[in-house]
């Protein structure tokens, strides 16, 4: 009965997607990110100047609207190269390849900031569900599940020792007005924050607040109690 209730209210969709994303992908690739960054930095010492940004930056649009080509999404984002591939045998597939792309992000002063960035791919499933009549998944359901996906993933990664210091989640809500460089400015805000964090660590100073305001803490990520994932069994009944 509890299982049927959870299925009808879609309470376990985002929870399951977050765990699948972590176990089936992030837990595999994130521990290898810094090594790939180090290898690239040795060959290109002037590109990745700030070690604090040697992470995988994961975009989490709450709209679940994902553009496969970041360069088309924002002209201030330019593909640079791919980092070193990781090849593993997984689930019967020989030599499965995992890799990340490095991008150059141009700011308002035409300065280039470099980072590895990609979307959280499970959000594509949430978006597809909201477009498929068979899923009976409304836009409101999609938004709530996107929020729950982010919160769940954040908690999972916080508790993961293997992934500590290897990622940066970038949740965001797109404004109603069309902004040509919304995405690049959002990524830049996080890169600048990490740079300030590195300076603070080495110099003992307090970080300054950048002029752009895309802090994830400002997002409306409140989720009602009834929307949280529920256990499929309960000893209380």
The answer to whether position 161 is within a domain reads: yes
The answer to whether position 3 is within a domain reads: no
173-187 pLDDT, tens digit per residue, is 976 666 789 999 999
30-47 pLDDT, tens digit per residue, is 999 999 999 999 998 888
Instruction: Spell out the residues 6+ positions from residue 145 whose beta carbon is closer than 8 angstroms to its own.
Output: 10, 13, 14, 126
| pTM (global) more than 0.85 | no
CATH number of the domain at 128, please: 3.40.50.12100
The more confident residue out of 28 and 221 is 28
d(CA 57, CA 70): 13
Burial class from Cβ neighbours inside 10 Å (0-12, 13-18, 19+) for residue 50 reads middle
Q: State the pLDDT confidence band at 26, using cuts at 50, 70 and 90.
A: very high
The more confident residue out of 91 and 23 is 23
C-alpha dist (Å) from residue 139 to 6, 65, 129, 135, 136: 19, 12, 9, 12, 10
Total of domains in the chain: 1
The answer to whether position 96 is within a domain reads: yes
The encoded tokens of residue 220 equal 């409306």
The encoded tokens of residue 52 equal 């604090």
The answer to whether position 18 is within a domain reads: yes
The answer, yes or no, to whether residue 65 has pLDDT greater than 50, is yes
Distance of CA 47 to the CA centre of its chain: 22
The answer to whether position 163 is within a domain reads: yes
The answer to whether position 199 is within a domain reads: yes
The answer, yes or no, to whether residue 17 has pLDDT greater than 60, is yes
């Amino acid at each position: 009965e509890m299982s049927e209730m959870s299925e009808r209210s879609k309470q376990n969709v985002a929870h399951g997607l977050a765990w699948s994303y972590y176990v089936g992908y992030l837990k595999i690739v994130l521990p290898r990110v810094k090594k790939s960054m180090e290898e690239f930095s040795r060959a290109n010492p002037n590109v990745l100047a700030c070690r604090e940004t040697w992470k995988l930056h994961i975009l989490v649009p709450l709209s679940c609207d994902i553009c496969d080509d970041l360069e088309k999404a924002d002209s201030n984002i330019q593909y640079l190269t791919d980092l070193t591939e990781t090849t593993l045998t997984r689930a019967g597939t020989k030599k499965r390849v995992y890799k990340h792309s490095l991008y150059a992000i141009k700011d308002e002063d035409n300065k280039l900031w470099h980072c590895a960035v990609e979307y959280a791919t499970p959000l594509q499933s949430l978006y597809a569900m909201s477009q498929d009549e068979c899923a009976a998944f409304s836009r409101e359901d999609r938004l709530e599940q996107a929020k729950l996906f982010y919160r769940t993933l954040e908690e999972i990664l916080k508790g993961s020792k293997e992934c500590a210091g290897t990622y940066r989640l970038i949740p965001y809500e797109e404004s109603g007005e069309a902004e040509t460089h919304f995405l690049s400015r959002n990524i830049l805000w996080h890169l600048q924050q990490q740079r300030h964090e590195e300076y603070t660590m080495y110099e003992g100073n307090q970080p300054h607040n950048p002029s752009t305001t895309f802090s994830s803490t400002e997002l409306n990520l409140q989720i009602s109690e009834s929307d949280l994932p529920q256990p499929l069994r309960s000893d209380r009944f």
